[in-house]
Chain A
């Protein structure tokens, strides 16, 4: 994979079966985020393939994206809207869920009262909780979570790991980038990225 004519990631390959979880770790600048964006189809690969259910993603964009949930550094929340409106109108594009369920998600993630405040008034941790609340109802099979635990307190981290476990047991797959180790019972495979020697 190239970034501005400079090889960033090369000689990388892994396969995910139902219920697999891969944790991508590596120093800053080793290309973790670029890898996640490439898996999500946002960044083109110089060469090499991303296959989904055995077929190239370029052949089945809408089917692949229907089964994909991608949460990057930027949370994908409209700060002018309230938490509940965000889930209903922004995340709701992917998972058409009844409004009542969104409120349940927000309660589950500990944002009862804050649900009606515009997102820009919430703290970074709360905003990330709003973005991650959709994990509870997301129908996606492939979860791509880029540094999901930043700014989260231990209680929220535990909740996210519970959702991850539920997702894996249901046969889903996930790729997570994080510096902090995931708890052992998730059985995450480690994928180490080292910084390319930049000439």
Chain B
């Protein structure tokens, strides 16, 4: 188990993180782009339409992956915050701060595609469906973390404050989701719900799986790419960054 511990500790050191994340970014992006292309084509052209909703069902191939990435993005952000708070790691702070913008973008994407999907299905652009409402609250939580992070002049304080907010947020996310689901079932007779679909045949969820993997790979690649640059910025006075700049290796 020794190599796992050293591998983990290496990620905590900024120069090593910069180097490793470079390789991982290229790898993940190399994985993400083909997955997304194949998934999109498959979902748009080859997957069967839904017998009830018709072709508008194809929006699921973006809505569900975006929503999944948005939620797990917040959980990743909170765990990076926890690591940052407990071990005071600059790398964890940087990952946390760069997680929020992508997560917010994915949540916005889930909201936009959800409301577009609602129009042909229910005839209204905005529907207070349980899932879309909790997405809206999740977007607010993301904006809160981003707003708080940028409000501090001192980067370290910004990192730790955002970490605390992310942790409090992640504790509340299940409660918020439960209360919104409960609220939705209270006020809305159990009509067809956007999320609860009958078990999908293989032809339908296979492209969905491809798209979900594509979205996660894309999220990982962009997160690491952003964090690398932010880390360079945060460590611009250190020797290893100066030498990189001197060799024009950035």
Chain A interface residues (CB < 8 Å from chain B): 2-7, 44, 199
Contacts and interface: CB of A to CB of B under 8 A. Distances in A.
A4 B154 contact: yes
- In this complex, the member of A3, A4, A6, A7 whose beta carbon has the largest number of chain B beta carbons within 10 angstroms is A4
A44 B160 CA distance: 12
Contact of A4 (B88, B153, B235): B153
A3 B157 CA distance: 10
A4 B155 contact: yes
A102 to B, nearest CB: 36
B156 interface: yes
Contacts of B88: 44
Interface of B: 88, 153-156, 234-235, 237
A2 B154 CA distance: 11
A4 B154 CA distance: 5
Contacts of B237: 5-7, 199
A4 B235 CA distance: 11
A5 B231 CA distance: 11
A5 B156 CA distance: 8
Contacts of A2: 156
B153 A5 contact: no
Nearest to A44: B88
Contacts of A199: 237
Q: Closest 5 A-B residue pairs measured CB to CB? A: A4-B154, A5-B234, A4-B155, A5-B155, A5-B237
Contacts of B155: 4-5
Contacts of A4: 153-156
Nearest to B238: A5
A199 B234 CA distance: 15
A50 to B, nearest CB: 15
A3 B155 CA distance: 9
Contacts of A5: 155-156, 234-235, 237
A199 B88 CA distance: 25
Nearest to A3: B154
A44 B154 CA distance: 13
16 contacts: A2-B156, A3-B154, A4-B153, A4-B154, A4-B155, A4-B156, A5-B155, A5-B156, A5-B234, A5-B235, A5-B237, A6-B237, A7-B237, A44-B88, A44-B156, A199-B237
